[in-house]
Structure 1
Amino acid sequence: MFRTVLPGPPRPGILGKIRAWWGGWPLGQLAFLLAVAALGALFVGNVLETMARIGILPGFGFLSSSANFEIGESPIAFRAGDTYLRAILAGLVNTLKVSLLGCVLATILGVAVGVAGLSRNLLLSGLVRWFIEITRNTPLLLQLFFWMALAKALPAPRQAAALFGSVFLTNRGVYIPAISLEGGPFGLAAALGITALAAVALLLFLRAARRLTRQTGSVALALAVAAPLAFLLLSGARPEAEMPALSGFNIRGGLNLSPEFAALLTGLVVKFAALIAEIVRAGIQSVGTGQWEAARALGLHDGQIIRLVVLPQALRVITPLTTSSYLDLTKDSSLAVAIGFPDLVSIVNTTANTTGQSLEALIILIGAFLTINLALSALMNLYNSRVALRGTRR
């Protein structure tokens, strides 16, 4: 018995695809776009005319000019007389430093607080609830002012007590132990970079070869970490711990976190840890009670249940919302200008005031934050897609 197969609807051609993409009312949309373009051209024309009238040449040539200001805290070498480009680069590195540390520390603290909030201990869960509500319902700028005032109220170095024997909280900053590599051709940053690249390369190779399991992944990561460090040690480098100690009227050695940086980092971590804690709580509670009961039936205690059963499933809820928190933390780091930390916004603002190139400075600022946030969002979306595929696999 034969069946007649009728042809399906014809596939749309190029014009049909363009019409579907453009949508309805094409003339109205075209008129709207032309009106927006005309307004933009009028705005740009007025700006260029104003700049020409006051003697400012448009463009980014000012980046190669000398910046006649100092930067209080710069992760790269900078002094008055260096170019504006180098000054902006120093501010960008400051922003990246506080954003990266803030995301890592806020995640650690937020997960711990979120899990503690689900405790059966009424005192602990109550304290967590008060912490979250107070932190979430007060402005971040107000919190930064509080942490900055607290940092300035700390004792002078000679009167500061050593916490755990090696941490000093003073009005000149926070002093903590530091680790450095001495005697070799590379520094600690290069060692960490080589280690990270080797670990990623090995894991990607095993992943492509489809041989990556929990056991082989752990062994591969250990080898990737050990091999570059062994190479550096064989080259003559030796890790040395620098402990801060009181010397005269100040503290020498170790790593010094300025009061502005410490206040900014603390404010960002505390604020967004509270938000991440609520996200973690919601993600854990989204997992059905049957999962808990099945895990308890297998003899797992609560810590193992959360780590092995609940959190892997809750990540499908936690990851997208945590991505938004990371983006907000990066953007809110711009509030550093209010407490005197020389981040990207502060240095670009100074550049605009001293050169008069306000429009170009704003373009640089917008482009930098867009690049940082889009890169962070792409990485988190990649991780989220992997978590979602694992969660839906049967």
Structure 2
Amino acid sequence: MSPGPLDGILVADFSRVLAGPSASMWLADLGARVIKVERPGTGDDTRAFGPPWAGSSSAYFESANRSKESIALDLANPDDASLARTLAARADVVLENFRTGSLARFGLDPDAVHRANPRAVYCSITGFGSGAGAHLPGYDFLVQAVGGLMSITGDPDGEPRKVGVALVDLLAAKDAVIGIFAALRHREHTGEGQHVEVDLLSSLLASLANQASSYLATGVAPRAMGNQHPSIAPYETLRAADGILAVAVGSDRQFRALTVALDAPAFADDPRFASNGARVGNRAELIAVLEGALASIPVDDAVNRMLAAGLPAGRVGDIPSAIALAESLGLDPLVDVGEGHPAQVRYPVRYSAFTPVTPTAPPALDADGAALRAWLAAPD
């Protein structure tokens, strides 16, 4: 197996919780050496985010920290702070999500690191940027709320709802990886490192896609629509005889095929439903007609009929069924990280020229501390 494309890249990871650790984990999946710096005694906050518990800490911690080395350093201790500065001086990438400016007292702010290591790519992840929003605490749930995502999530008549995973943290993590890749590429051409800044609010706004565009085009704020799409119908969940299925019909041709699959072809020519615009405008009547046709059809039968007609449809499942589906399709969704640790969801991208490195288990707190302290104390 060929080494990953980041083989030889050293990442000094001073981040905690989810966004930063996820970004550094994906860098490790691609071959980077990631050294995770943690607080003595407690380590990353997520080590205590249980139950459930797994491996050496929590299942939460395990989800974002495979294939790393751990060293516990007390940055308030001058000797430990000196080791941290040495690590940053040797690193290709420095990743942190501390409150803006708080690392300056340890000589680990971007300017200090670049004076010692001009080639470093220094990536900061914040909640609301390093300017006027620097004092605001950056938590995924908070950003989902103030960033508008909750306003378009949930039932139309219900209260705003968060997404069922810390999605904004993960969006920011992916933006951080992209930003780091671009900065490393820039360094190849110029020899210069730089400061890469990612904030949760901007990552969320950039991911609102058509919903943000709709507001900017019309001045009207989108609203929560449950499982419905604001511009396409039927693109939602529908109730069948024994459960719920998801249908994503995106064209008039597909709608005609849907009516044939449900033994109700006449509805394709009904003026209320003959075009997507008409279907969106008459959504309540459309749902009533489709669910009437589905009332005597079991979900699996309905899904099979639609798939046979080339239509996007599926039973609404859960995480176990999603993993089982990926396995049945040969997508190999899971990786083994070692005895005593649960399997993990693999790095999601496939490459023709190499494969992500074989993962190792998330480290116990300070598991590599002795070896790393000796390495950092020795001349480079």
User: Which TM-score applies when normalising by structure 1?
Assistant: 0.20
- Could you say which structure has the higher strand fraction? 2
- Could you say which structure has the higher helix fraction? 1
- Structure with the larger RCO, 1 or 2 (CA within 8 Å, 6+ apart): 1
User: Which TM-score applies when normalising by structure 2?
Assistant: 0.20
